Chain A
Amino acid sequence: ETGVTQTPRHLVMGMTNKKSLKCEQHLGHNAMYWYKQSAKKPLELMFVYSLEERVENNSVPSRFSPECPNSSHLFLHLHTLQPEDSALYLCASSQALSGANVLTFGAGSRLTVL
C-alpha cells in the first residue's frame, strides 16, 4: 500500500466517548500533520510532527491529543468532544518541513459528534 492511509473513514461518537484516528504513511516522509476541515472554512492546521517530535500545536483544545510513535504513524486521540468538533480530519505528510516540500494528504476521517 502506498500514500497516506487514514482510518476510520467515518466515525460517530458521543460527547463522553474516547476514540482515536489513525494515519499511516508509506512514503518515507519525515513530517506529518493533522488538519481540521470544516465546511466553507480554510483548512485549520492542528499539529505538526517532524521526526516524531511535535513542532507545532496551534492552540488546539486538550480534548484532542496527538501521538506520533514513529515517523510512519500518527494518531489523534479524542475524548469528551463537542458537537462543533464534527468535521473532516485530514492527515498529511511531507518529506521535510521546509516550504518547498509538497504535502501528501490522506482521504480523511469524517467525525460526527452527537
Chain B
Amino acid sequence: AQTVTQSQPEMSVQEAETVTLSCTYDTSESDYYLFWYKQPPSRQMILVIRQEAYKQQNATENRFSVNFQKAAKSFSLKISDSQLGDAAMYFCAYRSDNNDMRFGAGTRLTVKP
C-alpha cells in the first residue's frame, strides 16, 4: 500500500523567512501525482500546489515551490517570505492514476510575527 509520511508534526517560522516542510511517500507506480494542501483554522482544505511525477521541473506557485526528488520519493514544500496567513496544517498527498489517494498526517505550521 502506498503511504505518505510527514516527519515534522510541527514547524515554526519567523515572518518573512523561509521554511521547508518534508514529505516522503512509498509507491511502486511510475505515474502519479503529488499535492500539498493547506488547512487553516477555518478547516477548509485548499490546494497549495500540484506536481505530476512525469515532469522533472519542480512546480512553483508564487511563494510556494516544491523540491520533487522522484528517485528518493521525496516531495518537500518550500514557503518563501512567510506570512501570518500561512499558518495552518499542511498535508502532503499522493494520488495514483487508478484513484488511490493517500494523505500524510500533516504538519502544523506556526508563523511568528
Contacts and interface: CB of A to CB of B under 8 A. Distances in A.
A99 interface: yes
B91 A43 contact: yes
Interface residues of A, number: 22
Given A99-B33, A99-B96, A108 B9 contact: no
Interface of B: 4, 9, 31-33, 35, 37, 42-47, 50, 52, 91, 95-99, 101-106
Given A40-B9, A42-B104, A90-B45, 11 more contacts: A41-B105, A42-B91, A42-B105, A43-B91, A97-B99, A99-B97, A100-B33, A103-B47, A103-B101, A105-B45, A108-B44
19 contacts: A40-B9, A41-B105, A42-B102, A43-B103, A45-B101, A55-B99, A90-B45, A92-B45, A97-B99, A98-B99, A99-B33, A99-B99, A99-B101, A100-B33, A102-B35, A103-B101, A104-B47, A105-B45, A107-B42
